[in-house]
Amino acid sequence: MQKKNAGNYNPEVELAKGANLTAASYDKTQKITVTAGKVTVGGTPGVVVISGLATGKLEPGIDGTIDLWLSIFRYKRPDGTTNHVAGWNIPLALKPKQTPIETTKAFATYINTGTRPYKAKAIGSKTKARLAIIFTEVTRRKS
Read off φ and ψ for residue 53, nearest 5 degrees: -75, 140
* Structural domain contains residue 57: yes
pLDDT tens digits, residue range 60-92?
999 999 999 999 999 999 988 999 999 999 999
pLDDT of 137 reads 87
Average pLDDT for the chain: 92
Give the separation between CA 128 and CA 143, rounded to whole angstroms: 44
* Structural domain contains residue 142: no
Local structure of 80: helix, strand or coil: coil
Q: Band the pLDDT of 138: cuts 50, 70, 90.
A: low
User: How many structural domains comprise the chain?
Assistant: 1
pLDDT of 142 reads 44
User: Which residues lie across from 118 on neighbouring strands?
Assistant: 135
Whether the CB-CB separation of 40 and 13 falls below 8 Å is answered with no
* Structural domain contains residue 116: yes
pLDDT tens digits, residue range 35-50?
999 999 999 999 999 9
Domain range for residue 11?
2-135
Overall size of the chain counted in residues: 143
Whether the CB-CB separation of 26 and 67 falls below 8 Å is answered with yes
* Structural domain contains residue 96: yes
* Structural domain contains residue 117: yes
pLDDT of 2 reads 53
**Amino acid identity of 57?**
K
Give the separation between CA 47 and CA 38, rounded to whole angstroms: 8
pTM (predicted TM-score): 0.89
pLDDT tens digits, residue range 99-132?
999 999 999 999 999 999 999 999 999 999 999 9
Local structure of 12: helix, strand or coil: helix
* Structural domain contains residue 143: no
